[in-house]
Amino acid sequence: MNEPFGGVKVYFSGPITRQPLREVSDFSLEIIQFLTAGGAEVLSEHVAARAALDGRRAPTDRTAIDIRRQDLKWVDKATHFIAIVNDPSHGVGMELERAILKPNLGLNPTPILCLVQEQLLDKLTYMIRGVSMDECPDYYLQSYSDPNDAKEIVTKFLVS
């Protein structure tokens, strides 16, 4: 079985509460399925693909504190961090910052890939575009044209 991403633990982040929810969820689900088919363990699989898997936003009996703690534990555990940054998201921004700061917290440095649609690159916040190599040497912001292009970028990120 060909598993080029075997042994990789990915924290996958993307906006899940903004509209168009179906479009965001479908793309996230496609990338997550690509990652898992390639052997990656996607720590946040059910969070990022929740709406697409359920066809709706899933109700939860967990508190906001529980969800935040769990997500941060997954970010800390991840060997790689991939974020979809097409839409503004406070949650994605906070998760991204946690991944950037991991070495300062005594945790493993984690390569970070931010994916943005080509036509949205110029509209992307400076907080995402402005991460320097000094701040995070393994931070990559890449634009993609379609899901297949995004998959090629993800493959290069995880395999190289």
Task: Say which CATH number the domain at 72 has.
Answer: 3.40.50.450
What average pLDDT does the segment 108-130 reach?
Answer: 96
Q: What is the pLDDT of residue 19?
A: 47
Does residue 103 belong to any structural domain of this protein? Answer: yes
Q: Which residues form the domain of 110?
A: 9-159
* 148 backbone dihedrals φ, ψ, rounded to 5°: -65, -40
Q: 41: which residues sit within 8 A by CB, 6+ positions away?
A: 8, 9, 10
Does residue 87 belong to any structural domain of this protein? Answer: yes
Task: Tell me the pLDDT tens digit for each residue of 24-78.
Answer: 568 888 999 999 999 999 999 865 555 444 444 444 677 889 989 999 999 999 9
How open is the CA angle 125-93-3, to the nearest 5 degrees?
110
Does residue 48 belong to any structural domain of this protein? Answer: yes
CA-to-CA distance for 120 and 129, rounded, in angstroms?
A: 12
Q: What rounded mean pLDDT belongs to the chain?
A: 88
pTM: 0.90
Q: What is the pLDDT of residue 55?
A: 47
Q: What is the domain count for the chain?
A: 1
Does residue 1 belong to any structural domain of this protein? Answer: no
